[in-house]
């Protein structure tokens, strides 16, 4: 599948990238966000969730694992699995129910939920480069591929 690589010079650029993706996302959709602590996964998520129409803050659901949003008709679930100790915890929270036909799921640290998460439609990896960031984005499914092809 086609890979998109680009740099994000500062925090504003990361937020703008989230804003841009908001223009093409529609459910059902699963986005995996990879990259070290502080890479900008939550910053990107904030840009995406706020551009979808959420007026308030977007905080990392580090302790609760998931933060739900209801934005107009759209259900958005923002996961942060950094503190997930045992993937079985995902079973207990009924993880499968979140990934439904009418939801957008954004997952930070998806590697911690390996084997229990559905396939991602879009993979985004953010890496530190000098004082900015470098992004590699790739579709994981035909749905993701179709959405990414709408980006300019
Ligand atoms: N493109 C960028 N270049 C430099 N700093 C950035 C960039 N994007 C975000 N940041 C900064 O890096 C940090 C990212 O934090 P956060 O989004 O919480 O990361 P993560 O969720 O990946 O742990 C914030 O302090 C933010 O201001
Ligand atoms: Mg985060």
Residue-level pLDDT at 99: 97
Question: For position 34, what pLDDT does the model report?
Answer: 98
Q: Of all residues in the chain, what percent carry a pLDDT higher than 70? A: 100
Tokens of 45: 């998520």
This prediction has a pTM of: 0.97
Are the C-beta atoms of residues 120 and 145 closer than 8 Å to each other? no
Q: What is the mean pLDDT of the chain?
A: 96
Instruction: Find the 36 Cα to ligand 2 centroid distance in Å.
Output: 9
The closest of 89, 75, 14 to 44, measured between CA atoms, is 14
Ligand 1 pocket, residues with Cβ under 6 angstroms = 8, 10-11, 13-14, 35, 37-43, 60, 108, 131-133
Place of tokens 């841009």: 20
Q: How far is the CA of 110 from the centre of ligand 1 (A)?
A: 18
Mean pLDDT in residue range 35-43: 98
Chain position carrying tokens 């985004």: 124
| Cis amide leading into 36 (omega within 30) | no
Reported confidence tier of residue 85, pLDDT bands at 50, 70, 90: confident
pLDDT tens track for 99-113: 999 999 999 999 999
Show the domains of the chain with their CATH numbers.
3-133 (3.40.50.300)
Q: Which of 15, 40, 135 to mutate to test the pocket of ligand 1 (most atoms within 8 A of CB)?
A: 40
């Amino acid at each position: 599948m086609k890979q998109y690589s680009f740099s994000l010079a500062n925090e504003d650029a990361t937020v703008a990238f989230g804003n841009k993706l908001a223009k093409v996302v529609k459910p059902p959709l699963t986005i995996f966000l990879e990259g070290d602590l502080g890479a900008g996964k939550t910053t990107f998520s904030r840009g995406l969730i706020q551009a979808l129409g959420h007026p308030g803050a977007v905080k990392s659901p580090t302790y609760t694992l998931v933060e739900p949003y209801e934005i107009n008709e759209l259900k958005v679930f923002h996961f942060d699995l950094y503190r997930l100790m045992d993937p079985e915890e995902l079973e207990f929270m009924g993880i499968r129910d979140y990934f439904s036909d009418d939801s957008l799921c954004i997952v930070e640290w998806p590697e911690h939920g390996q084997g229990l998460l559905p396939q991602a439609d879009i993979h985004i990896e953010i890496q530190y480069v000098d004082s900015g960031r470098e992004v590699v984005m790739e579709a994981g499914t035909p749905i993701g591929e179709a959405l990414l092809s709408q980006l300019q």
